[in-house]
Chain A
């Protein structure tokens, strides 16, 4: 019985908790990507840099709050700074749309062209972020570090295996649930949300029924900016902020969006968790868990690992290829990319 509990705790600690937090971060990022694709009809490669920009503003405001002595109890102060980060990011993406994307929309540029334009925008934002905050790594989470710390858990339960739950992991999942619920309510229940879905389904029909396209585009950017800032801040709180690592999560985010079905919000969420769990489960060494559960004769000599962790990125892309082969529109049937 104790062995079974130990095995369960080990799985929770090294697979379920980290994968859920990582999945939630990917899902929020993928939602932003998928909304731009669904409504503005291009792959926005600048999304990761929008996340970095939003996080940078949050870090700045957090530092300001800390210098004023404002804190948020056991929760990170950054959550209080989040609204300001969102506002700044909204201004940034609306400004970018005005200066760059609107022109290409007017001339009805092909999606591929917009995609390339977004790569250019990504480089500019990259530079802007580095100019303001520099390239080094920074940690900005404060408040209580753990809800359950490994040492306390061991002492309290007497188990061999430790369980730890970081405040940031809990905050990540709770915030993600709230944001996603609000987004779905908005898309399905409000007039603007419905007009966005109509515009996404069939642009011409939506225009005929009197939907103002510029309004839909503006609202989309506002939502995307909020999603990006929240995703970026949660990721930075849980790990740390470094502009370069933000650029690197672009690929798993796109993989999540495509696996779920490009343009489908529900798909982006499922895709995010699929990628996160797959990366961790396929490379997890089950040796320890097997040691608790299996009788001695059956215990593995090796690590009982499907793939070495060197291949964790290969796992996401293998899933991507398989999904594209068998369901080209993704699990939840979005638009074909």
Chain B
């Protein structure tokens, strides 16, 4: 041990006192880091305050002035009796039926077998789920194929890697709803533009998460295969994929949850599914229908989250915690 890092015996307070150039440098580094942290926190606080003031001033009405009216919306949502939302949900006839759209619950029934039927909102929810699942599958497929071309550890060619990365950025640059609006204009209303829109965003989003996972992969296995004369595709398939697939699955299931919500929203701009019905019933003031749809949406999203958590455990649980 050199003189520069000698540690003196503990002093009366029980603290060890240290000195020497090394310790001085360490302390100055710590001081510098604390200063930067304090500056960053201060800057964030300042920006938050500034943006709050800006938001408050640019709004037509002041935030706090309008706050008491917040619950008016919920007042409009009170149905005529407690069973009305249930009737709306299961397409049962309403005692208030006066021929208007507001109480025409049985009209939406989809015939199934004999006298059995599928209620309208369940069918629409199924359509929305379908959009989410299909677009997640498409997104996974293309994201998977593209991510290896974007990884620094697998592709040395700057231009190829850059092109693929820019392509992914382009695909995820616009929110689903913007792409959907664009596609609805081209392909007209329905689930097809919704699938296209969600899938495009998913390719970009999953591709980025995937290639970052690939860049963190342990390259020892890859080196072993390189030394065995494996081609690039073989190295990816046998050296990289077994390592990254649990993470890929995890991200894809997370994306599925996000896509269920996204395809609901897209319904509101003409993408079909439950979102469209929700927008219509809110704007027409059909409180029982709105409540039924919101309830169904809530249950579905909770169910999808639970299901994907369960599936993730089943698919990757064992491997993720195995000693590698």
Bound together = no
